[in-house]
Amino acid sequence: MRIIIIVGVGLSAMLAVYKWRYKLVNMILAVSVLRKLGVILTMNMPTIKNKILSNIFTKTSNG
C-alpha cells in the first residue's frame, strides 16, 4: 500500500512538472545565480558545447 502511494505521488509530481515546465524554467532562469550555474553546467558538457560553438562561429553566405 505504501509503495502505491509513493508511486502515485511521484507520478503526480512528474505530471505537474511536465504541465508547468515552461513556467518553471522561466522562474529558474529569472534568478541570475541559477542562470549562470545552468550555463556553466551545460558548457561543461562536450556535446552541447561543441554544437553551440559550431553554430555561433560558422560563416553564413550572404545571398
Output the pLDDT for position 62.
65
Output the pLDDT for position 9.
97
- Residue 61's φ and ψ, nearest 5 degrees, are -85, 135
User: What sign results for the dihedral spanned by CA atoms 62, 43, 50, 20?
Assistant: negative
Output the pLDDT for position 63.
53
Distance CA(39)–CA(22), nearest Å, equals 17
Output the pLDDT for position 7.
96
pLDDT tens-digit readout, 12-56: 999 999 999 999 999 989 999 999 998 899 889 999 888 888 888
SS3 56: helix
Q: What is the DSSP letter of 31?
A: S
How much is the pTM?
0.54
